[in-house]
């Protein structure tokens, strides 16, 4: 007889799963840099195709085909998965362009801003009310972006594209809810992107040339592993999100941009002029305000929770 896991044990597993997901996302830039000389367009195409193959294998092992067939019979859910696929494609492509062209620090900026973007989407799309400190964090983040544009002299399109695409992707996932499990969702999202991946490979073959299978056995193995590297963090995140509350998720998720920022500055030695430092410091202040608000909200929630009836 197997005893059910205690709530504390479940929370521990949840933190471990979510932490593992964000840890893997944090080291992805270094993984994709190992794929050089493969360009971002070929890498994303490989990521789509091999993710689909990996998910099909998972569905077969986990006997999940019944769940995916139930989704296919619902046109509304299928449409949502197609839109989610388009958004995650934009996110993957922009992230790879940023990583492989020396803009890892800017990708980190996008993911630092992402939680605040999510709050804004909740306000304007879901008509949620937000607290005063959250408005303060949003205002500081806007000032940070303006400071980078004015001081650094360039529009941070990589950062803003990443935060917008992933923010709306998360919104769609929230809209779909539990009707689409993680493996089925990623399988369908990858399936919709197969034509895009094929077209990209044809264009790459006609221009710069396909590198898959031509560099080395190690490089080929790393390219094949792109599907696993894409799917595993998403599945870990889904497992963690079911076990821990949003406040904990919000705290853990900053692991990824911190790791990406350190990778860009300390390992890849990307330039950090004073203007960019000012922008990032403002972003970190906004993140700090955001985290303080989450902690205060969680504390108030514990105080107002009714005592159990015994």
57: Cα within 13 Å, side-chain hemisphere: 10
Structural domain that includes position 38: 9-300
Q: Which helix (H) or strand (E) holds 63?
A: none
Domain membership of residue 156 (yes or no) is yes
Residue 84 CB neighbour total at 10 angstroms? 24
List alpha helices for the chain, DSSP H.
Answer: 7-33, 40-61, 65-72, 75-100, 104-124, 132-152, 157-176, 182-206, 217-224, 226-241, 246-252, 255-262, 274-304
Q: What are phi and psi of 268, to 5 degrees?
A: -95, -10
Domain membership of residue 31 (yes or no) is yes
Of residues 292, 280, 297, 251, the one with CA closest to residue 113: 280
Domain membership of residue 243 (yes or no) is yes
3-state helix, strand and coil shares in percent for the chain, rounded to the nearest 5: 80, 0, 20
Of residues 10, 29, 7, the one with CA closest to residue 18: 10
Please answer whether residues 256 and 22 qualify as being in contact, where contact means their C-beta atoms are separated by less than 8 angstroms: yes
pLDDT for position 135: 86
pLDDT for position 250: 63
CA distance 117 to 290: 12
Domain total for the chain? 1
pLDDT for position 3: 45
| pLDDT tens sequence for the chain (310 residues) | 444 555 667 777 878 888 898 899 999 999 999 999 999 999 999 999 999 999 999 999 988 899 999 999 999 999 999 999 999 999 999 999 999 999 999 999 888 888 778 778 877 887 777 788 888 888 888 888 888 777 767 788 999 999 999 888 888 877 787 788 888 888 999 999 999 999 999 999 999 999 999 999 999 999 999 989 988 887 888 777 767 765 567 667 788 888 999 999 999 999 888 888 888 898 889 888 887 887 787 677 666 655 444 3
Instruction: Give how far the C-alpha of residue 106 lies from the chain's centroid of Cα atoms, to the nearest Å.
Output: 15
pLDDT for position 239: 76
Please answer whether residues 249 and 241 qualify as being in contact, where contact means their C-beta atoms are separated by less than 8 angstroms: yes
**Token couple for 138:** 């949003």
pLDDT for position 2: 45
Domain membership of residue 307 (yes or no) is no
CA-to-CA separations, 39 to 95, 201, 295, in angstroms, rounded = 12, 11, 42
CA-to-CA separations, 152 to 232, 272, 274, in angstroms, rounded = 36, 10, 8
Q: How open is the CA angle 120-126-131, to the nearest 5 degrees?
A: 50
Domain membership of residue 310 (yes or no) is no
Q: How open is the CA angle 156-157-159, to the nearest 5 degrees?
A: 70
Please answer whether residues 260 and 29 qualify as being in contact, where contact means their C-beta atoms are separated by less than 8 angstroms: yes
pLDDT for position 307: 46
Please answer whether residues 117 and 167 qualify as being in contact, where contact means their C-beta atoms are separated by less than 8 angstroms: yes
Domain membership of residue 305 (yes or no) is no
Task: Compute the residue count for the chain.
Answer: 310
CA distance 155 to 176: 33
Q: Which residues of 135-154 are buried (b: 16+ CB within 10 A; e: fewer)?
A: ebbbebbebbbebbeeebee
pLDDT for position 57: 93
Indicate the pTM of the whole model: 0.84
């Amino acid at each position: 007889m197997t005893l059910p896991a205690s709530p504390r044990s479940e929370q521990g597993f949840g933190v471990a799963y979510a932490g593992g997901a964000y840890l893997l996302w944090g080291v992805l830039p270094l993984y994709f840099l190992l794929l050089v000389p493969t360009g971002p367009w070929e890498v994303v195409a490989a990521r789509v195709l091999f993710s689909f193959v990996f998910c099909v294998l998972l569905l077969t092992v986990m006997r999940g085909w019944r769940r995916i067939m139930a989704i296919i019979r619902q046109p509304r859910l299928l449409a949502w998965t197609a839109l989610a696929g388009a958004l995650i494609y934009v996110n993957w492509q922009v992230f790879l362009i940023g990583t492989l062209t020396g803009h890892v620090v800017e990708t980190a900026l996008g993911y630092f801003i992402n939680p605040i973007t999510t709050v804004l989407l909740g306000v304007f799309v879901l008509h949620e009310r937000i607290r005063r400190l959250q408005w303060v964090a949003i205002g500081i983040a806007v000032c940070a972006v303006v400071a980078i544009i004015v001081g650094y002299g360039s529009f941070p399109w990589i950062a803003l594209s990443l935060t917008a695409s992933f923010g709306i992707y998360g919104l769609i996932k929230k809209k779909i809810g539990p009707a689409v499990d993680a493996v089925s969702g990623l399988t369908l999202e990858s399936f919709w992107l197969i034509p895009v991946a094929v077209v990209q490979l044809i264009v790459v073959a006609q221009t710069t040339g396909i590198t898959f299978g031509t560099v080395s056995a190690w490089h080929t193995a790393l390219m094949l592993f792109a599907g696993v590297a894409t799917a595993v963090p998403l599945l870990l995140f889904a497992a963690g999100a079911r076990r821990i509350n949003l406040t904990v998720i919000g705290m853990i998720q900053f692991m990824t941009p911190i790791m990406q920022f350190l990778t860009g500055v300390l390992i890849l030695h990307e330039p950090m002029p004073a203007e960019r430092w000012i922008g990032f410091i403002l972003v970190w202040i906004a993140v700090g305000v955001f985290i303080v608000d989450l902690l205060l909200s969680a504390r108030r929630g514990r105080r107002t929770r009714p005592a159990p009836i015994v």
